[in-house]
Amino acid sequence: ANFVNMKIDIHRALERPQIAHGPMATTCRIGAHDLTVGPGKEVQLMRPATELLGQKGLQQRLRDDGYLYLQQVLPRDLVAAARKAVLAALESSGMVLKGENGKLNPEANCATDQGAVPASLARSPEMLALVESHELKQLMQEILGSESVQTLDHKWLRAVGHGENSGFHTDSVYLNKGSREGLTCWIPLGDVDLRLGGLCVVGRSHCDPSFDKVRQTYSA
């Protein structure tokens, strides 16, 4: 069966790094660097693929770019319910400041520990309603071209503080379970702009010759 990885971002690929859209800003911070955003600049906005839904063009776009940037394809009520449940739990634990709409507590020992979010939160009823939703399954069936689609038991829930980052990496190293018939699905639990932070990918790193060594070693 094909499988789908879940990485759910509570806060917030190389011709050039490309970043998910948000309210426009002239710069964004990636790691310790402030980079210019825009056509022909150091960082470019991801190419939206939402208009290809139902047009049998998603698989080709994925082969071309190595990613699919899809907007407003999941029910907002499910996203909002998941965010509310997760933030309430993290506020109770002290990891998130109360009444600050998801701002990590800088005094908490786990504030910069990306593994600090309890795994049980990713399997809360509200989270499962989102990541196991009919809408997401239908979407992945279209992308993968198969009716046999399932999610992995483990869902990754990440809470990365402002100014922190996950670093560039290849998910297949950790999560492919020996198969190449899988996709990672990043779902932000709320609106994310360039100042808050978002997902940055290296477009075409899956096929560009300059990344041959990376694919043959690190991501083999």
For the stretch 46-64, pLDDT in tens is 999 999 999 889 999 999 9
- What share of residues in the chain are helix, strand, coil (percent, to 5)? 30, 20, 50
Mean pLDDT of 207-211: 91
What is the per-residue pLDDT for 17? 55
Mean pLDDT of 136-148: 92
Residue in the block written with tokens 């279209």: 142
pLDDT tens string 87-131:
999 888 888 878 877 777 777 765 444 546 788 899 999 999 999
Greater confidence (200 vs 5) lies with 200
Inform me whether the pLDDT recorded for 65 exceeds 90. Answer: yes
- Is the Cβ–Cβ distance between 59 and 183 less than 8 Å? no
Task: Return the half-sphere exposure (C-beta side, CA atoms, 13 A cut-off) of residue 156.
Answer: 17
What is the per-residue pLDDT for 157? 87
- Is the Cβ–Cβ distance between 68 and 143 less than 8 Å? yes
The radius of gyration of the chain's CA atoms, rounded to the nearest angstrom, is: 17
**How far is 97 from 104, CA to CA, in rounded Å?**
6
| DSSP-derived 3-state class of residue 92 | helix
Read off the pTM.
Answer: 0.83
Task: State phi, psi for 147 to the nearest 5 degrees.
Answer: -80, -20
Q: Which of 3-12, 122-131, 135-144, 145-154 has the lowest mean pLDDT?
A: 3-12
What is the per-residue pLDDT for 75? 95
